[in-house]
Structure 1
Amino acid sequence: MIQIKDLHKSYQMGSNSLHVLKGINFDVKEGELVSIMGSSGSGKSTLLNVLGMLDEADEGSYILDGVPIRNLNEKVAARYRNKFLGFIFQSFNLINYKSALDNVALPLYYQGMKRHERIEKAEYYLEKVGLAEWSHHLPNELSGGQKQRVAIARALASEPKVLLADEPTGALDSVTSYEVMDLIQGINDEGKTILIVTHEPDIAQMTKRIVNLKDGIIIDDSPVKQIRAKVHV
């Protein structure tokens, strides 16, 4: 699903160049659940930005579902993002004046889907994440965990090939974090490819493979015995 070979990325900082990614080699098969870990400055956010087509590498290759990702103008990059990727953010990134339903339906508008189809699909995915009764509530009427569920429903609605989650539990307490990870594990069980950037070891243990970054290189890439998220009802 994802093939990255000898990826390099530098940023110009005044007269100096900061070499952030220093030859990343990284493959993800369809249906994997992978966590990317590393301290601040390790390059994990830059790697996620490249994977998400929000930034482009200086050297190396990135192939997503058989499509080489390179030299994309913003219009093409946006189209590819909409087609291939779903994003889940630490800060949820919901539109405050739109209901949960409208937030989930929004990416489908950009796909040119008719309104009644968008609403039907958004309702389906809100039900899937357990929020059917909250569909007409605004984000400020939802808890942190509910907001993240809306964000997950929105990411799923466009039926992406890959979900990219940037610290999806970073703004949540531990009980809610485990509820969100239980949902993510369930989505992965259905076959969805998911990458999670996290600094929390217990969250990483809930994935099936941990990739550790340090100073722009992968220092360890190992399968792990997945711990299922325990949800207290």
Structure 2
Amino acid sequence: MIEIKDLHKSYQMGSNSLHVLKGINFNVSEGELVSIMGSSGSGKSTLLNILGMLDEADEGSYTLDGLPIRNLNEKIAARYRNKFLGFIFQSFNLITYKNALDNVGMPLYYQGIKRKERMEKSMHYLEKVGLADWATHLPNELSGGQKQRVAIARALASEPKVLLADEPTGALDTKTSYEVMELIQGINEEGKTILIVTHEDDIAHMSKRIVNLKDGVIIDDTTVVQVKAKANV
């Protein structure tokens, strides 16, 4: 599903160049649930930005579902993101003046899907995350866990190939974090490929594989015995 070969990325910092990714080789098969860990400055956010087509590598190759991702203009990158990827963010990134149903439907709006079908699909995914009764509520009327569930429903609505989750439990308490991870595990068990960036060891062990980055290189890539989220609540 994802093939990364010899990926390098540098940023110009004044007169100096900061070499952030230093030859990353990384494959993810369809249906995997992978956590990417690393301290601040390790390169995990840069890697996620490249995977999410929000940034481009200086060297190396990135192939997504058999499609080479390179030299994309913003219009094509946006189309590919909408087609292939669903994003889950630590800060939820919900539109404050739209209710839960309309928030979930945003990717479908950009796909040009008519409102009636959009609302039907959005309600289906709100039901999937257990929030059908909250469809007409605005984000400020939802708890942190509910906001993240809406964000997960939104990420699923466009039926992407891959979900990219950037610290999805970073703004949540432990109990709510495990509830969100239980939901993510369930989605993965249905066959969805999911990558999670996290700095929390217990969250990482709820995936099936942990990739550790340090100073722009992968120092460890291990298949782990998955901890079921509900067992920890």
Deviations 1:136-162 (A, max 9, x none): 000000000000000000000000000
Q: Is the 8 A contact 1:179 1:231 kept in 2?
A: no
Scaled by the length of structure 1, the TM-score of the pair is: 0.99
Which residue is 1:90 aligned to? 90
Which residue is 1:101 aligned to? 101
Counterparts of residues 51-66 of structure 1 (less than 5 Å): 51-66=51-66
Mapped to 2, the partners of 1:62 and 1:106 lie a distance apart of 27
Which structure 2 segments of 5+ residues have no match?
Answer: none
Mapped to 2, the partners of 1:75 and 1:231 lie a distance apart of 44
Mapped to 1, the partners of 2:3 and 2:107 lie a distance apart of 26
Mapped to 2, the partners of 1:232 and 1:72 lie a distance apart of 43
Q: Secondary structure at the match of 2:105?
A: helix
The residue identity in structure 2 corresponding to 1:156 is L
Q: CA deviation at 1:230?
A: 1.6
Across the aligned residues of Structure 1 and Structure 2, the Cα RMSD in angstroms comes to 0.9
Q: CA deviation at 1:231?
A: 6.4
Paired positions, count: 233
Q: Is the 8 A contact 2:178 2:232 kept in 1?
A: no
Counterparts of residues 175-214 of structure 1 (less than 5 Å): 175-214=175-214
Mapped to 2, the partners of 1:106 and 1:164 lie a distance apart of 17
Q: CA deviation at 1:18?
A: 0.1
Mapped to 2, the partners of 1:74 and 1:226 lie a distance apart of 37
Which residue is 1:73 aligned to? 73
Distance change (3 Å), C-alpha of 1:74 and 1:160: same
Mapped to 2, the partners of 1:114 and 1:95 lie a distance apart of 20
Distance change (3 Å), C-alpha of 1:232 and 1:16: closer
Which residue is 1:149 aligned to? 149
Mapped to 2, the partners of 1:153 and 1:101 lie a distance apart of 9
The residue identity in structure 2 corresponding to 1:77 is A
Q: Is the 8 A contact 2:87 2:164 kept in 1?
A: yes
Which residue is 2:161 aligned to? 161
Q: Is the 8 A contact 1:182 1:231 kept in 2?
A: no
Q: Secondary structure at the match of 2:24?
A: strand
The residue identity in structure 2 corresponding to 1:60 is G
Mapped to 2, the partners of 1:141 and 1:153 lie a distance apart of 17
Scaled by the length of structure 2, the TM-score of the pair is: 0.99
Mapped to 2, the partners of 1:232 and 1:10 lie a distance apart of 40
Mapped to 2, the partners of 1:23 and 1:9 lie a distance apart of 9
Deviations 1:55-91 (A, max 9, x none): 0000000000000000000000000000000000000
Mapped to 2, the partners of 1:203 and 1:187 lie a distance apart of 16
Q: Secondary structure at the match of 1:102?
A: helix
* Misfit runs of 4+, over 3 Å: none
Mapped to 2, the partners of 1:218 and 1:61 lie a distance apart of 16
Aligned-residue identity in percent:
85
Which structure 1 segments of 5+ residues have no match?
Answer: none
Deviations 1:202-226 (A, max 9, x none): 0000000000000000000000000
Which residue is 2:8 aligned to? 8
Which residue is 1:32 aligned to? 32
